Amino acid sequence: MTSALQPLVDPAVPVDWHALRPRWQAGRPTVQAGLPHDQLAPAWQILLLGDGSPTRHLQLLTRDRTEVDVIDMAPVGMDLDGAPDIIRVVPGPRLRRQVWLRTASGQRLAYAASWWEASHVDEYLQNKSLPIWASLGRLRTELYRDIQGIYYGDSEALEDAFGMAGPFWGRHYLFWHRGKPLTLIYEVFSPYLTRYLGPMQSGPRG
């Protein structure tokens, strides 16, 4: 399967975060409609295309506390940073945060990169070792998770980090707060989750 869309992330732009090299990708209309079940199984669609908290979903699946390893907090200024083009709606100058989401016992479940308005990141991430969901939940922050794109692709760095072969499924979305974009988040999930969600079904072809 191929996509007629322009790339959501330009694979030709070198970046300092783990963007997938997409075999297939699609934007918001496909996210809203959902995918055929022979392309992505229903349980995986709930995780990837649903608007609930992935941190909460991972805790429910594994019955283990989801913890965060922060691997990067870097100012990127007004640079687009090779991120999905929708980054333009997040006010700058911006700061990029990268984390692993893992169980308390150490099993990596997902990777996430996020971009924040640098002047406000300390307001919303007061404890930077907490998952975003937990940080914003403590502040009783009302949010809308607006999923913009989905990917199926490759990353040698993520194969090494997850200890599992790709390709991987990922997505990007905006958090909106009080009618304004708060942050852009790009997530990739480990195939380890097939243990709880079952097989991903057949991947896209093309």
Query: Is 42 part of any domain?
Result: yes
Assigned domain for 136 exists: yes
Other CB atoms within 10 A of residue 82 CB: 18
Rounded to 5 degrees, φ, ψ at 96 are -105, 135
Helix (H) / strand (E) element for 47: namely helix 42-49
Residue 40 covered by a domain? yes
Does residue 95 form part of some domain? Answer: yes
Tell me whether residue 180 is in a domain.
yes
Instruction: Calculate the alpha carbon distances from 123 to 38, 90, 128, 135, 141 in Å.
Output: 43, 16, 11, 10, 11
CATH of the domain at 29: 3.40.1410.10
Q: For 117-164, how does the pLDDT look when each residue is reduced to its tens digit (9 = 90+)?
A: 887 766 656 555 555 555 555 545 556 788 999 999 999 999 999 999
In the chain, which ranges are E strands?
21-26, 66-77, 94-103, 108-117, 144-154, 168-177, 180-189
Look at residue 2 and tell me if it is in a domain: no
pTM across the whole model = 0.83
- Read off the pLDDT of residues 63-121 as tens digits, 9 standing for 90 and up: 988 888 888 888 999 999 999 999 999 998 999 999 999 998 899 999 999 998 887 76
What distance, in Å, lies between the first and last C-alpha atoms of the chain? 5
Q: How many CB atoms lie within 10 A of CB 203?
A: 17
Name the domain count of the chain: 1
